[in-house]
Amino acid sequence: MNKEFFKFDFKVYDSIDELDEEDVYLLAEARKVSEVAYAPYSNFKVGAFAKLVNGKTVSGTNQENAAYPAGICAERTLMSTASSLFPGVGIATIAISYKNGNGKSDRPVSPCGICRQSFAEFQQRTKNPIRIILSGMEGKVYVIENAENLLPLLFGADDMK
């Protein structure tokens, strides 16, 4: 038997003020777009804002539905929008933030498992790593250089060949 270990590095900033100008812009837009999320059931509004490799920007918000689990996360809304408007174009950086109407929004919250899997496939499809910025409305900011780091032992298209 062999024991394997998975580890990845990511950057932790104390606040948005420590980021470079472009990352500040992306995160500020993600925070802003979270305001228009449709989350009447959870009151947990998530916003995502991304710069694509072609320089264009797109946004997405979570969209809840009374017929749970028919809703869709902000990250997957954004990927759907990006691939519809700009087929085959990769995401360079995506910023994700949230506004918790039931409590604080002062720490980074990581994408759910479905979004992690979707990021991994989007990266494979566009042949471009996705850099992720995670934060709440205030507080620490995490920067992860490659979305695949969030999903060790991922299931991908190669597994179906």
Dihedral, 78, 82, 83, 87 alpha carbons, nearest 10: -170
Give the other-Cβ count within 10 Å of 81's Cβ: 15
In sequence order, the 6+-apart residues with CB closer than 8 A to the CB of 29 are 47, 49, 57, 59, 95
Residue tagged active-site, from 4, 75, 138, 145: 75
Distance CA 51, CA 127 (A): 16
In the annotation, is 75 catalytic? Answer: yes
Task: Supply the residues annotated as catalytic.
Answer: 75
